[in-house]
Amino acid sequence: MTAFRVAMNFVRPSLDTAAPNALEVALTDDVLVVHGGTPLEGRIRVRGAKNLVSKAMVAALLGDTPSRLFDVPRIRDVEVVRGLLGLHGVKVSDGDEEGELVFDPTNVESASTDQINVHAGSSRIPILFCGPLLHRLGHAFIPDLGGCHIGPRPIDFHLQALREFGATVEKTPEGLHLSAPNGLHGTKFALPYPSVGATEQVLLTAVMAEGVTELRNAAVEPEIIDLICVLQKMGAIIKVHTDRVIEIQGVKRLHGYTHRPIPDRIEAASWAAAALATRGHVEVLGAQQADMMTFLNIFRSVGGEYEVTDLRPPRGGSPGQEGGIRFWHPGGELNAVALETDVHPGFMTDWQQPLVVALTQARGLSIVHETVYEQRLGYTEALNTMGANIQVYRDCLGGTPCRFGRRNFKHSAVIAGPSKLHAADLVIPDLRAGFSHLIAALAAEGTSRVYGVDLINRGYEDFEAKLADLGAHVERP
Ligand code: EPU
């Protein structure tokens, strides 16, 4: 079998230790052949943010009447949450509009651990079912989590918060069993780090807990604010104070919501980086300036050009009038930059990998300090094999020392450019690094084979169709 033979020569990052085994992936024949060297040109559209949509779907469990969510992308995480909701008695159906989902939670019921375990290892979203299931059923079973292998990704903040609310948590080999024999009660809680997931956990639990919850050091990403909008539409009382403090007044009942989510700013930035790395020109319909300001500043500093074509007020207007942001490479050389990933309003960790491919084309030394995940630079090894010149370091090379500085993680990168990228056979290690591999293959001279591309479907809707719309020369063998 061809895939089996080439597996021995795969470029595989060593830091992503839990990444799929090259042979395992190769044997699936899940491969995209990429003829690189052609600028991406054209227009694509992003829909609702993956990292909001899946959480809004979980929130539907809390209502006692149906909810409607628009602009839901067809991605793997949505399928997982849909499956879990279905197992718990929530009827999920397609609405009238393309991308609209309707959730009827009037008959929420328990599911068996065996049924739930079908979804083990497939996503991180199941951990957010804890609060809603405890409210609706008094107990919850959570399977082993999946998601990208970009560090240990513990759930200690989640479990600590749930215990503060009064939940008991039992860890077993098959998963987590939770119950709330005395109900859930509001609490004062400070997160050790402004974790997105743990903030969502607290929100989804506190909205129906008895009394007031005060969360300090909360994450305030736009996706969190949009989740708060969803919960407020359902009848929740949530105050977002300054300095990362969120106060939630528990209510006895919540009803359904109708919501159009914020667009996917990670996907938008990924296509922008692809335009820059391939010296192309891509309009991303749906992209919103307000949620991408930090990315736009770096994009401009690198030498990329953009124009905001969405003339609606933020989060306003009707779908028919949609614009977005047009991104392009203006010609000439790109500039090296120093950047540090951080929680909002910093530069998102998920923007890092796609942009680094463009930075391989910039003249001089770029510095990237990854402060959100400790193992999110492993993919750079594959880029080096394609001709990039990237060194990773254990030191904090940004302005601020971060949590990983003294913990022996290679979490800073120096990118020397410009480098001519050439084709290679690549195995995709995780979602965002996978997209960066794809961009590198598109930017490189020659024909690359990218294995394990199905992983990209976890977070990028119809990416193969979008590549075709942008004139990329890709094919399934
Ligand atoms: N952390 C802990 N303990 C916890 C929770 C988090 O130590 O209990 C640490 C993590 O290990 C990490 C940091 O806190 O070092 C931040 O993690 P966070 O909880 O904020 O991340 P998450 O909720 O698991 C979401 C997105 C990620 C995105 C991050 C940061 C979803 C489904 N995932 O993850 O998106 O990178 O926030 O913005 O919303 C992606 O889309 O590819 C992706 C990885």
Write phi, then psi, for 249 (nearest 5 degrees): -100, 115
* Ligand 1 atom nearest to 266, measured from its CA: 41
Fold assignment, 31-46+263-311+321-475: UDP-n-acetylglucosamine1-carboxyvinyl-transferase; Chain (3.65.10)
The parts of the chain modelled with pLDDT lower than 50 are 1-19, 25-27
Cα of 133 vs centre of ligand 1, distance in Å, is 22
CA distances (Å), origin 48, targets 14, 34, 83, 262, 286: 33, 28, 19, 6, 9
Q: How far apart are CA 420 and CA 383, in angstroms?
A: 11
The pLDDT assigned to 316 comes to: 57
What is the CB neighbour count within 10 angstroms for residue 179?
A: 15
Tell me, yes or no, if the two domains 31-46+263-311+321-475 and 50-259 fold the same way. yes
The pLDDT assigned to 130 comes to: 96
Residue ID of nearest Cα to ligand 1 atom 5:
155
Cα of 131 vs centre of ligand 1, distance in Å, is 18
Q: How far apart are CA 79 and CA 168, in angstroms?
A: 29
Instruction: Give 465's DSSP letter.
Output: H
Catalytic residue numbers read: 148
* Paired tokens of 51: 């990292």
Q: Is the CB of 155 under 6 A from ligand 1?
A: yes
Tell whether 372 is in a known binding site. Answer: yes
Q: Is the CB of 197 under 6 A from ligand 1?
A: yes
Q: Is the CB of 51 under 6 A from ligand 1?
A: yes
| End-to-end Cα, the chain, rounded Å | 13
Burial of 99 (0-12, 13-18, 19+ CB in 10 A): middle
Q: What is the pLDDT of residues 424-466, one digit of tens each?
A: 999 998 899 999 999 999 999 999 999 999 999 989 999 999 9
* Paired tokens of 36: 């690189």
CA distances (Å), origin 272, targets 84, 296, 342, 355, 366: 33, 10, 20, 8, 18
Who's near 440: CB < 8 A, 6+ residues apart? Answer: 277, 357, 360, 382, 383, 386, 388, 421, 426, 448
Is this prediction's pTM over 0.85?
Answer: yes
Whose CA is closest to 463, among 79, 37, 13, 40? 40
Residue holding tokens 């020569």? 9
The pLDDT assigned to 173 comes to: 86
Q: What is the pLDDT of residues 229-288, one digit of tens each?
A: 999 999 999 999 999 999 999 999 999 999 999 999 999 999 999 999 999 999 999 999
The pLDDT assigned to 123 comes to: 85
The pLDDT assigned to 14 comes to: 37
Cα of 42 vs centre of ligand 1, distance in Å, is 32
The pLDDT assigned to 11 comes to: 46
- Report whether 443 contacts 361 (CB < 8 A): yes
b/e for 448-462, b at 16 or more Cβ within 10 A? bbbbbbebbbbbbbb
Burial of 116 (0-12, 13-18, 19+ CB in 10 A): buried
The pLDDT assigned to 307 comes to: 97
Whose CA is closest to 392, among 311, 404, 178? 404
Rounded to an integer, what is the distance from CA 461 to the centroid of its chain?
A: 12
- Report whether 427 contacts 5 (CB < 8 A): no
Q: How far apart are CA 424 and CA 121, in angstroms?
A: 29
Q: Which of 52, 163, 195 to mutate to test the pocket of ligand 1 (most atoms within 8 A of CB)?
A: 195
Cα of 343 vs centre of ligand 1, distance in Å, is 10
Residue ID of nearest Cα to ligand 1 atom 11:
153
Who's near 255: CB < 8 A, 6+ residues apart? Answer: 63, 64, 65, 234, 235
Q: How far apart are CA 35 and CA 93, in angstroms?
A: 39
The pLDDT assigned to 314 comes to: 59
Residue holding tokens 């405890």? 134
* Ligand 1 atom nearest to 348, measured from its CA: 38
Q: Is the CB of 372 under 6 A from ligand 1?
A: yes
Q: How far apart are CA 133 and CA 140, in angstroms?
A: 6
* Ligand 1 atom nearest to 223, measured from its CA: 39
Domain 50-259 sits in CATH at 3.65.10.10
Cα of 197 vs centre of ligand 1, distance in Å, is 6
The pLDDT assigned to 117 comes to: 87
Burial of 33 (0-12, 13-18, 19+ CB in 10 A): middle
* Ligand 1 atom nearest to 430, measured from its CA: 42
- Report whether 288 contacts 273 (CB < 8 A): no
The pLDDT assigned to 28 comes to: 57
* Ligand 1 atom nearest to 343, measured from its CA: 38
Tell whether 462 is in a known binding site. Answer: no
Residue holding tokens 């149906």? 66
Residue holding tokens 């005060």? 214
The pLDDT assigned to 398 comes to: 77
In the chain, what are the domain boundaries?
A: 31-46+263-311+321-475, 50-259
- Report whether 288 contacts 48 (CB < 8 A): no
Tell whether 350 is in a known binding site. Answer: yes
Question: Beta strand pairing status for 237-240 and 188-190?
Answer: unpaired
- Report whether 301 contacts 74 (CB < 8 A): no
Q: What is the pLDDT of residues 368-405, one digit of tens each?
A: 999 999 989 999 999 999 999 999 999 999 777 888 88
Residue ID of nearest Cα to ligand 1 atom 37:
196
SS3 label, residue 294? helix
Within the chain, how many helices (H) and strands (E) appear? 15, 24
Amino acid at 377: L
Cα of 112 vs centre of ligand 1, distance in Å, is 28
Q: Work out whether the CA dihedral 6, 443, 335, 347 comes out positive or negative.
A: negative
